[in-house]
Chains A and B, each alone.
Chain A
């Protein structure tokens, strides 16, 4: 492989690596990382109506448990605060690499 070709290959690999890092950082820090609704809901254990009071009450309790689980699973408060801090970290590099 000639020196020119080697240079081309190395350049392309470097560009791909930089693009990969940029895309990853954007995915982690950008506004699009909030979970969308629907995919985190745990499956509810349903009990079919039988006419038995024990089954009915157990079904009502299961429904309440499913609701609680959904509320917990959908909480993403940590992510929101985390992204703010990450963005601030990016900002701290504003005065880096200055040239005198």
Chain B
């Protein structure tokens, strides 16, 4: 009786197991399939990124080259315009001085109409000589201040250009290193997500560095103002000497005219 019950229970258990085993086996197979699929997807994504990387490298390198060329072209155009502008301004200054020389001669002529005696004419000649000397001295000082200013601005421009070239070279090198690293990661089978995040982070760092360099270069612009102030002070000093010389010449002339009938 007991053995009959045992036989029945064992048979039931075996029947139940026979139902469960295929299900468990099937579940184990599904997990394995999913792992395989995930691995395959990741591999496909990496392959796709690595294939696109080649195009991206070409695009970035082309863009870098084009923009660098544009920048250099504009720089050359600016320098040419700057030289032309300086020549133009020098001509303009000389024309202004020529007109002022003519007007000064007209003033001398009008003064001469009032210098009727020899003593007055001698005093007027001394006045003219003193004024002409003062004009020459002032112009010479102004020209010197202008030349120094232009030389200093030229040196500042050259310094700026050197800094710009360094910034461009550093940026290009960083971008190139980032792209090379991405290529190496592709070859080494690094995951797609890592390749992408590393490349983006490195490119962003290169850009941040360039922005910092740009700000430092922008700071050089502040050095123009002291140069302008230096020139302004030199021209003002020349002007003060000029005015004092003219006042003295005028006082001498008026005194001489008053003393010599």
Task: Spell out A's residues near B (CB within 8 Å).
Answer: 29-31, 34-38, 41, 46, 49-51, 53-57, 59-61, 63-68, 70-72, 74-78, 80-85, 87-96, 98-100
Chain A residues with CB under 8 A of B249: 57
Does B81 have its Cβ within 8 Å of any Cβ on chain A?
A: yes
Chain B residues with CB under 8 A of A65: 239
In the assembled complex, the CB of A70 is this many whole angstroms from the nearest CB of chain B, namely: 6
Interface residue SS majority, chain B = helix
Does B211 have its Cβ within 8 Å of any Cβ on chain A?
A: yes
Rounded to whole angstroms, the CA-CA distance of A87 and B110 in the bound complex is 56
Is B142's CB under 8 angstroms from A71's CB? Answer: yes
Is B175's CB under 8 angstroms from A95's CB? Answer: yes
Does B133 have its Cβ within 8 Å of any Cβ on chain A?
A: no
In the assembled complex, the CB of B220 is this many whole angstroms from the nearest CB of chain A, namely: 7
Given contacts A72-B232, A81-B160, is CB(A91)–CB(B224) below 8 Å?
A: no
Is B75's CB under 8 angstroms from A59's CB? Answer: no
Is B111's CB under 8 angstroms from A51's CB? Answer: yes
Does B4 have its Cβ within 8 Å of any Cβ on chain A?
A: no
Does B243 have its Cβ within 8 Å of any Cβ on chain A?
A: yes
In the assembled complex, the CB of A37 is this many whole angstroms from the nearest CB of chain B, namely: 4
A selection of 12 A-B contacts at a CB cut-off of 8 Å is A29-B74, A38-B92, A41-B96, A51-B111, A56-B107, A72-B232, A77-B153, A84-B217, A87-B74, A91-B168, A92-B171, A94-B63
Of the candidates A81, A89, A95, the one having the most CB atoms from chain B within 10 angstroms of its own CB is: A95
B contact residues, total (Cβ < 8 Å): 81
Rounded to whole angstroms, the CA-CA distance of A65 and B207 in the bound complex is 48
Given contacts A41-B92, A91-B168, A95-B60, is CB(A34)–CB(B78) below 8 Å?
A: yes
Does B41 have its Cβ within 8 Å of any Cβ on chain A?
A: no
Rounded to whole angstroms, the CA-CA distance of A63 and B98 in the bound complex is 11
Is A66's CB under 8 angstroms from B96's CB? Answer: yes
Contact of A100 among B68, B93, B97, B196 (CB under 8 A): B196
Contact of A53 among B63, B77, B127, B218 (CB under 8 A): B127
Chain A residues with CB under 8 A of B96: 41, 66-67, 70
Contact of B81 among A31, A61, A66, A85 (CB under 8 A): A31
Chain A residues with CB under 8 A of B135: 60, 64
Rounded to whole angstroms, the CA-CA distance of A93 and B135 in the bound complex is 53
Does B146 have its Cβ within 8 Å of any Cβ on chain A?
A: yes
Chain A residues with CB under 8 A of B242: 61, 64
Chain A residues with CB under 8 A of B206: 95
Rounded to whole angstroms, the CA-CA distance of A55 and B253 in the bound complex is 13
Mark interface residues in B84-120 (1 if CB within 8 Å of A CB, else 0).
Answer: 0100110011001100100110111111011000000
In the assembled complex, the CB of A81 is this many whole angstroms from the nearest CB of chain B, namely: 5
Rounded to whole angstroms, the CA-CA distance of A41 and B204 in the bound complex is 47
Which A-B residue pairs are the 3 nearest by beta carbons?
A: A31-B77, A49-B110, A56-B107
Chain A residues with CB under 8 A of B52: 99-100
Rounded to whole angstroms, the CA-CA distance of A30 and B78 in the bound complex is 9
Mark interface residues in B33-70 (1 if CB within 8 Å of A CB, else 0).
Answer: 00000000000000001001101100110011001101
